[in-house]
């Protein structure tokens, strides 16, 4: 059976247009990353759930597995917040917590789970993990929302709006960092079938 990968990319691309900043804390160390995998995961309005998919290559993945908590932040697209939104995106998505503290560079307060809340984000939900699906190279986490807040009301930032505004050097570095991440994902996926 052959798959039309171009068609698959067209069907699956852009389904989740909002980049989210995910933070967590484990053993006293706070960390986080950017993700395009965020979604809602409950039909019960008074019992909301959030879902994220993180690759095992990323430190935040292991930290969420251990701590069982995460905060999912939306970023703001409003003019007065845009600079901070791009700063959050570049800080959390541009390097690993393995290479140094990222959260300390951002304005935060402590959430009810102990995880950091990014004060310059648009809004957030804070969640305790209720279920995890292990899919070789990544895990899909579903969490019960235990807190939520709109910090900076207005439009939420979409990735197509953010990407052209990012400095070329940052995009180059991000693309270089993506190469080992992809290799790691392939080796985890195909090792299971070898
Ligand atoms: C726009 C954008 C979307 C991303 N989406 C994801 C994602 O859905 N899942 C994931 O695990 N990493 C995603 N990443 C990559 C991580 O944010 C990046 O590898 C980060 O440096 C990992 O940091 P950590 O090792 O401290 O966890 C994305 C990065 C960007 C910039």
Q: pLDDT averaged over the chain?
A: 97
Nearest to 89 by CA among 10, 13, 165: 165
Q: How far is the CA of 61 from the centre of ligand 1 (A)?
A: 10
| 3 in a structural domain | no
| 6 in a structural domain | no
Q: How far is the CA of 183 from the centre of ligand 1 (A)?
A: 15
> Who's near 15: CB < 8 A, 6+ residues apart?
none
Show the domain range for 183: 14-191
Nearest to 22 by CA among 13, 35, 10: 35
Q: Determine the pLDDT at residue 1.
A: 77
Q: Determine the pLDDT at residue 193.
A: 54
Question: How many domains is the chain built from?
Answer: 1
The protein residue whose alpha carbon is closest to atom 4 in ligand 1 is 35
If pLDDT is split at 50, 70 and 90, which confidence band does 192 have? low
Pocket of ligand 1 (CB under 6 A): 19, 31, 33-37, 53-55, 58-60, 93, 95-98, 159, 174, 181
- How do residues 83-108 score in pLDDT, each as one tens digit? 999 999 999 999 999 999 999 999 99
If pLDDT is split at 50, 70 and 90, which confidence band does 128 have? very high
Ligand 1 atom, smallest distance to 95 CA:
21
| 7 in a structural domain | no
Task: Indicate which CATH number applies to the domain containing 150.
Answer: 2.30.110.10
- How do residues 69-85 score in pLDDT, each as one tens digit? 999 999 999 999 999 99
């Amino acid at each position: 059976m052959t798959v039309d990968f171009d068609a698959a990319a067209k069907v699956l691309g852009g389904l989740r247009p909002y980049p989210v900043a995910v933070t967590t804390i484990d053993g006293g160390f706070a960390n986080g990353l950017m993700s395009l995998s965020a979604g809602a995961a409950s039909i019960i309005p008074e019992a909301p759930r959030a879902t994220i998919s993180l690759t095992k290559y990323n430190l935040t993945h292991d930290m969420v597995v251990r701590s069982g908590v995460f905060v999912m932040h939306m970023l703001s697209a409003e003019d007065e917040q845009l600079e901070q939104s791009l700063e959050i995106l570049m800080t959390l998505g541009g390097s690993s917590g393995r290479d140094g503290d990222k959260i300390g560079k951002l304005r935060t307060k402590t959430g009810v789970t102990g995880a950091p809340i990014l004060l310059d984000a648009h809004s957030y939900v804070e969640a305790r993990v209720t279920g995890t699906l292990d899919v070789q190279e990544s895990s899909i986490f579903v969490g019960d929302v235990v807190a939520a807040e709109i910090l900076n009301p207005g439009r939420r930032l979409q990735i197509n709006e953010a990407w052209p505004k990012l400095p070329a050097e940052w995009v180059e570095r991000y693309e270089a960092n993506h190469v080992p991440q992809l290799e790691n994902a392939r080796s985890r996926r195909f090792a299971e079938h070898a």
